[in-house]
Structure 1
Amino acid sequence: MEQIQFLFIFSFTIICLSSPIIRAIPSDPRRLVLNLTHRDSIHSAYHNRSEDFTTRLKRTMQIRRTLSTTDIEADLVPSNSLFLVNFSIGQPPIPQLAIMDTGSSLLWVQCQPCRRCSNQYSPIYDSRSSSTYKVLPCTSEDCISSKRPNTSCTSSDPCSYRQKYRRGVGSKGNLAKEQLSFRTSDDGLIVLHDVIFGCGSNNGDLQRSNRLMSGVFGLGYLRTSLATRLAKFSYCIGGNVSDPSYIYNKLVLGDGAGVEGDSTRLEVIDGDYHVLLEGISVGEEKPPINPNIFRRTGRDSGVVIDSGSVSTWMVKEGYDALFNKVQSLLNPWLTQSSIQLDPDLDLVAVCYNGTINQDLEGFPTVTFHFVGEAELVLDTSSLFAQIEPDRFCLAVLPIDGNQTIIGLMAQQNYNVAYDINEKKLSFLRIDCQLLED
């Protein structure tokens, strides 16, 4: 929840090489398809060659959203998320590799002059050297809507922000506007102008976290978010989230994002994406779960769908019912064990001795049923993680609280599309390779 000093030229897809064609687009693009970089990819700055597969999987299992108390609210541990977005910022363009996160709404990058930055193998963005940087005054509507108004604010003061996470890297600096450049499949560039972003000059204790991270690509829904501006986006995570060799994971931005498949109602609350879960089935059976446990009754309750969590975190009553059913199916045949994922959180995963491919053949699918007949169907690779060569664990974990969080493992092999204007979330089971632009 781990980094090496990996030569930066191999860490990033540098989108400013080879004089790419820059398309003059008077307005935001209708459809922008981006390849996502896995954090553990050999081409990623996060890759740790000394870390074995088992350690990576254990770390992956414990990634979860956490609550924070901040000026701009965010709810994950960003330095440990799995998928990264390539883009460049400014003019001249400076390449970035930032964490994709639907659990926070701010796009921020490390900026010079920097009191605390970590990117030792790449140029850090410097607003003083960019011809397209625009200061956002603290009296602007965009600044005031992003946090509580500062009574001492004047038009000559820059808009400041403070992004803090309970565990992991935070960021402080100024909100501003800048252009972002994205590489397209035909070696061109698409440029988005006047994107609000956080220019982070003080980015937490980065030496104890991921020293090579560029920032966070927030896709939550607040006024300052890129998701709010583009209205639609989707991502497709295929294969296995712990497999860094799978190259077809996609993020699609803009009105042309494919909003297809079965849909359910999407509610945006404090920037988070809430859905209404009606029940869970294991094969043809439904464990006895009161659907009211998934209802939103106040802050930090209900069901959130999130790209910043890997495992699914379920309120205790729902988890117990699901676990009891899984236990009744597996205990007669397999030896149950457990593994401690995080001693600080007293977090223990329920595991079984064996392998998913051999010992779970014929295990029934688990289905999450949402309002509107939309479903997420979890096969064994989405429900369990092979944490060691001879041991696998249930990838649904109990949460201490009233909010259920549906993580990326449950969303594998789906294109998950967010239509913010229509308040609709869609699930389409698909091979992500078919989304090639």
Structure 2
Amino acid sequence: MECSKLLGVLAFICFLIPVMSSSSERQFTAWSKLRVNLTRRSEGESNSAERLRSAVDRSKRRMNTIEAFVEQQIAGPLDTETPIRVGSGEFLMSVAVGTPSVSFEAIVDTGSDLIWTQCMPCQSCYTQPTPIFDPSQSSSYSTVSCTDSLCDALGAFQTGCTSDCTFDYMYGDGSETSGDLAYESFSIGSGSGSMVQGIAFGCSHDNQGRGFSQGSGLVGLGRGSLSLISQLGSKVDNKFSYCLLPITDSSSQTSPLFFGEGSSLSGANTIPLIKNSVNPSFWYIPVTGITLNGNPVNIPAGTFDLQSDGSGGMIIDSGTTYTYLNEVAYSPLREAIQSSIDVTPVEDSSGDLCYQKSDNMALPSLAFNFHGGANYNLPPENFFIPQYGDLLCLAMGSSRGLSIFGNVQQQNFHILYDNAQNTLSFKPTKCDSL
């Protein structure tokens, strides 16, 4: 048995131009513009406070899992241990698979690659709200052979190969999925979107654990070759973008995600992305420091640098709610924030920095500084969020090494991932206006 992925992410509705290739050829017709709607996970919470607390709890578990995975990757696999991957994200998307198609809701994650859904026959499957996909009823299904390059892309997740390619992922929360790597026709979105043939995905026959609640599978938007963005490649210009509504938004509006030309973003700040050969699925960003009220926070130079052994650095992740900073950066930032607010903080059992909300409380301005001079200027609502009714709490925490730029800090920013140009662009935007 081998590892898993730490997932994290997004939900969408889109329309695709039909293609006529066979599934094994993995050919696509170019798309002119593609828009998708992101739906935030709720897991049955009855109000926004419960939804926020559940998201924060998942965020902390995800951060711990990511840290453990990165540390294990650096140390190298041990015969006595199963490497861990990351587990479920914060957003859902509608997907249909097969010919004829079967629809389901999938968790979407910018921190992982594999696309998968539960398949018949089920050795062990968790309950899902839609029918489980039966590949024997689909005329477009074919398995991936052991000699296929995408089987090699599974790496340590490959469970051995005789003729067909198989996988086994174990997630950080104990959830697990295993099955066959295959090609299928996919339609993405809740409408009658056209089928795209030849998408490699995991047809999972053995799925256990609680990490997949609300979804009937996963879609990876990481940087590896098995992710959706990598498989679509130049046909969507190797890029996608999204704009996340605030986590406190109680409306039924969804957040948009775009592929191809729809991802164009004029007047934005653009920064280089960093590739990590040890953890190639993650989107690493080049943070150089943090300023508070225009003044640099006393963080040692190089704190956010990616190290030669693959440790450190900062990733941007749509599936983590809070931002988590290396303790060397978090401690002085928390101290600086507390010193800048002329109100006594409220004791909170969670350890968060919280204040009694009041109309006249002045909150500081905060910015992340990037290599090349670009600044990501955060409004107060992107780093202080309401919790427990009348409390405002800092939406950040500490980590042991790797830092994570979470989705609260991304809300009401249009963010573009360009895998071909190896850049990330961002622009303050009212996401409900797109």
TM-score range, shorter chain: 0.7 to 0.9
Aligned mate of 2:151, from 119, 143, 161: 143
Q: Distance in 1 between matches of 2:172 and 2:159?
A: 27
User: Residues 285 and 167 of structure 1: is their aligned pair in 2 closer, same or farther, counting only changes over 3 Å?
Assistant: same
What CA deviation, in whole Å up to 9, does each residue of 1:282-332 have, x standing for no partner? Answer: 1221111123010011323111111111100000111111101111122x4
Q: In the alignment, does 2:339 pair up with 1:328? A: yes
Contact 1:277 1:291 in 2 (8 A): no
What CA deviation, in whole Å up to 9, does each residue of 1:221-244 have, x standing for no partner? Answer: 111111113311111102x12435
**Structure 1 stretch 364-373 or stretch 65-74: which is displaced more?**
65-74
In the TM superposition, what are the counterparts of 1:217-296 in structure 2 within 5 Å? 217-229=219-231, 230=233, 231-238=238-245, 240-254=246-260, 256-260=262-266, 261-269=268-276, 270-296=280-306
CA drift of 1:183 comes to 3.9
Contact 1:376 1:411 in 2 (8 A): no
Q: In the alignment, does 2:313 pair up with 1:314? A: no
Q: Which amino acid aligns with 1:47?
A: G
User: Residues 74 and 28 of structure 1: is their aligned pair in 2 closer, same or farther, counting only changes over 3 Å?
Assistant: farther
Q: Distance in 2 between matches of 1:268 and 1:128?
A: 39
Contact 1:22 1:188 in 2 (8 A): no
What CA deviation, in whole Å up to 9, does each residue of 1:349-385 have, x standing for no partner? Answer: 2222225xx254x423211111133332221211012
Residue aligning to 2:115:
107
User: Residues 149 and 111 of structure 1: is their aligned pair in 2 closer, same or farther, counting only changes over 3 Å?
Assistant: closer
Q: Which amino acid aligns with 1:76?
A: V
Contact 2:48 2:250 in 1 (8 A): no
CA drift of 1:245 comes to 2.3
- TM-score norm. by structure 1 comes to 0.82
Residue aligning to 2:392:
392
Contact 1:101 1:220 in 2 (8 A): yes
Residue aligning to 2:194:
190
Superposed CA RMSD: 2.7
Residue aligning to 1:55:
50
Q: Distance in 1 between matches of 2:85 and 2:189?
A: 29
Q: Which amino acid aligns with 2:374?
A: A
Q: Which amino acid aligns with 1:193?
A: Q
CA drift of 1:172 comes to 1.0
Residue aligning to 2:378:
378
| Residue aligned with 2:295, SS | coil
Residue aligning to 1:338:
348
CA drift of 1:409 comes to 0.7
Contact 1:161 1:172 in 2 (8 A): yes
Aligned mate of 2:356, from 350, 353, 357: 353
User: Residues 23 and 320 of structure 1: is their aligned pair in 2 closer, same or farther, counting only changes over 3 Å?
Assistant: closer
Q: Which amino acid aligns with 2:273?
A: L
CA drift of 1:170 comes to 2.6
User: Residues 219 and 23 of structure 1: is their aligned pair in 2 closer, same or farther, counting only changes over 3 Å?
Assistant: closer
Q: Distance in 1 between matches of 2:230 and 2:105?
A: 21
Unaligned runs of 5+ in 2: 1-10, 21-28
What CA deviation, in whole Å up to 9, does each residue of 1:189-208 have, x standing for no partner? Answer: 132211111111111224xx
Q: Which amino acid aligns with 2:182?
A: A
Contact 1:86 1:97 in 2 (8 A): yes
Unaligned runs of 5+ in 1: 1-11, 16-20, 41-45, 341-347
Contact 1:146 1:223 in 2 (8 A): no
User: Residues 85 and 74 of structure 1: is their aligned pair in 2 closer, same or farther, counting only changes over 3 Å?
Assistant: farther
Residue aligning to 1:24:
18
Q: Distance in 2 between matches of 1:73 and 1:30?
A: 40
| Residue aligned with 1:61, SS | helix
CA drift of 1:392 comes to 2.0
User: Residues 335 and 222 of structure 1: is their aligned pair in 2 closer, same or farther, counting only changes over 3 Å?
Assistant: closer
Q: Which amino acid aligns with 1:158?
A: D
In the TM superposition, what are the counterparts of 1:172-211 in structure 2 within 5 Å? 172-183=178-189, 188-206=192-210, 209-211=211-213
Residue aligning to 1:96:
104
What CA deviation, in whole Å up to 9, does each residue of 1:96-124 have, x standing for no partner? Answer: 21112111111111111112222343111
Residue aligning to 2:430:
431
User: Residues 322 and 133 of structure 1: is their aligned pair in 2 closer, same or farther, counting only changes over 3 Å?
Assistant: same
- TM-score norm. by structure 2 comes to 0.82
Q: Which amino acid aligns with 2:353?
A: V
Contact 1:36 1:249 in 2 (8 A): yes
Contact 1:274 1:304 in 2 (8 A): yes
Q: Distance in 2 between matches of 1:381 and 1:129?
A: 49
What CA deviation, in whole Å up to 9, does each residue of 1:225-273 have, x standing for no partner? Answer: 11113311111102x1243525140111235422441110012322111
Q: Distance in 2 between matches of 1:426 and 1:115?
A: 44
CA drift of 1:182 comes to 2.7
Residue aligning to 2:216:
214
CA drift of 1:74 comes to 7.4
CA drift of 1:57 comes to 1.9
CA drift of 1:134 comes to 1.5
CA drift of 1:415 comes to 1.1
What CA deviation, in whole Å up to 9, does each residue of 1:57-81 have, x standing for no partner? Answer: 2221231332336999875331xx3
Identity of aligned residues (%): 28
Residue aligning to 1:3:
none
Aligned mate of 1:86, from 89, 94, 98: 94
Residue aligning to 1:18:
none
| Residue aligned with 1:292, SS | coil
| Residue aligned with 2:194, SS | strand
Contact 1:60 1:242 in 2 (8 A): no
Matched residue count: 391
Q: Distance in 1 between matches of 2:257 and 2:287?
A: 25
Q: Which amino acid aligns with 1:339?
A: S
